[in-house]
Structure 1
């Protein structure tokens, strides 16, 4: 079956250009073209679509307003902006409803690559109800202390970009959001940056102030709704895993890009737990209660109860948000690395670092512990290095202690 893509732009010449540019994709995609937001919503109401690609500046209903409507009415549809406008207010308004942003002019290869990636990550979640709930997410819940510190810093007379980056890098949800903005081209640049601090530097204080103080892209977690999930413990575990991942990557001779990707993959590997707890609080509370009562693996009970796991959910959202493929792969397969491509990629570092940290830190004695895939480790040829790498966890614990 052909995947269905809807393009929206009020300029006839742009739509004609898209038809010509994508003529060769007709055997893979069923494409429709709408000249206004109203026409697009009419088409969406009458036919199913997988992806909507919209311009931003359109009369009557602009791209941000259209994508908000698409999010509300058809949440399972991937939402992408394709625009040549650089007006800060307009772009900022698109940050929440859009999954990705593509700047014009855009090559055929780039446009096809981004749409194809949005389509491919949809295969990670088979259940339409879960996929729709995750696709609706505008932001993930952050630690209240992180929100307070960030707002105070940005509202101060002389805010420091370095301090802003440090605050964001210590929060899973904030890190994921700023990486989304930089890995896509929301503000005129698209670069696969694997460090939250680098992402903040690229965005700059003016944009960060607009995003945080005006649009409120970061939200505090509801302690009542998420009573069964300790966000602080999840952050501590994720920070330790990310630090150990970087050290493993360095020890295995990965270049700087590889080390950075291992770090961010470790930071985000459990982001799906945050997503599920925030979107399905009652059902996920039931998952955690069953895990504790029966001393079982979290992912096993997740799959039985929800039909998916935190790994697939996290990878799906990070894929929609345009994070690098190696990071998405690591999030998706950190419990099952044999399903991923071979070699010491981020998925290998995350699988080993996650196991090492769980061995050294019993976060909850009522949870069954994950096992290490020894066949995978043997294939990597690093079995004899596990004892040495266990020492990385102690160093990482000192690092997270400093951050606290």
Structure 2
């Protein structure tokens, strides 16, 4: 079932925010869950002792995913001189991180490629922004010398706006009142979304991530990407995704409504030690990538 078809329920009139949230979350069961293999790989993201055979074993349990990985590995983008015929060959040739990120992107793609009408994002727009944020986060982590967080923040960047795919229909039904708050009271779209609905896409995304039993660090990156939290145990990762989200918006990647309001929080800048040169480095790197889908081997 597509997210758009799922997200058109018969709503009670003017429900309280908590009632609406519970109504939405009860319907999460209608969304195809993350494949077991994706959940397993997500739990392996921050394992420094991950071995090739461990990842291969998990991927091979899903025949469909195995076929996709082999297709991607043999795509023109990688330009290999020989044909990859096994998952182990793919992992050894392209690297653990590359394959791991491909797997997660392939699993998340179906939800993120759909149209998000409530956020004025056409089909593919949310996917473009999510990929852009993931690559920005990965580069930012490397530039700041925080390579140990690169895998986590790539996935966090990829999933940070997952709540938009879930909440889009509900936002669309309240779109005009939300815009009136933006125009009349000078609120950002996210602030107006929260005031009108009682919650925003980040909170919904985090609640869904919890129900999917995703790792705590990923839940935090989804929950706080619009406002890094001092209390978060995973503050560094949260700040990286927050900054990466803003840079992806600066680059015009899947802007949608309110995208240009994404400003880098002073607290995040101070925590990470980000300066103009760092931001410029990430932007230049992103310009060198070109087509994000091709860069990860997924067209």
With normalisation by structure 1, the TM-score equals 0.47
Residues 305 and 292 (structure 1), Cα distance of their counterparts in 2 relative to 1, 3 Å cut: closer
Matched residue SS, 1:322: coil
Question: Equivalents in 2 of 1:194, 1:247: separation in Å?
Answer: 17
> 1:373 aligns to what?
265
Pairing 1:304–2:155 present: no
Could you say which structure has the higher helix fraction?
A: 2
Q: Report the RMSD for the aligned CA atoms in angstroms.
A: 4.0
Matched residue SS, 1:177: coil
Contact 1:193 1:199 in 2 (8 A): no
> 1:247 aligns to what?
139
Q: Can you list the C-alpha shifts for 1:265-306, whole angstroms capped at 9, x where unaligned?
A: 10111111111114x264254466557866852211111110
> 2:63 aligns to what?
205
Could you say which structure has the higher strand fraction?
A: 1
Question: Equivalents in 2 of 1:330, 1:131: separation in Å?
Answer: 22
Residues 131 and 232 (structure 1), Cα distance of their counterparts in 2 relative to 1, 3 Å cut: same
Q: By how many angstroms is 1:313 displaced?
A: 0.6
> 1:386 aligns to what?
279
Q: By how many angstroms is 1:354 displaced?
A: 0.7
Residues 223 and 266 (structure 1), Cα distance of their counterparts in 2 relative to 1, 3 Å cut: closer
Q: By how many angstroms is 1:380 displaced?
A: 2.1
- The residue correspondences of 1:120-139 to structure 2 (distance < 5 A) are 127-138=18-29
Higher relative contact order (CA 8 A, sep 6+): 2
Contact 1:337 1:351 in 2 (8 A): yes
Q: By how many angstroms is 1:382 displaced?
A: 2.7
Question: Equivalents in 2 of 1:347, 1:297: separation in Å?
Answer: 20
Pairing 1:336–2:235 present: no
Contact 2:249 2:259 in 1 (8 A): no
Matched residue SS, 1:338: coil
Contact 1:262 1:349 in 2 (8 A): yes
User: Bigger radius of gyration, 1 or 2?
Assistant: 1
- The residue correspondences of 1:4-403 to structure 2 (distance < 5 A) are 127-138=18-29, 140=31, 177-178=34-35, 181-182=36-37, 192-194=43-45, 201=59, 203-205=61-63, 228-255=120-147, 258-278=149-169, 280=170, 282-286=172-176, 290=180, 296-341=187-232, 345-361=236-252, 363-364=255-256, 369-383=261-275, 384-400=277-293, 403=298
Q: By how many angstroms is 1:372 displaced?
A: 1.0
Residues 262 and 132 (structure 1), Cα distance of their counterparts in 2 relative to 1, 3 Å cut: same
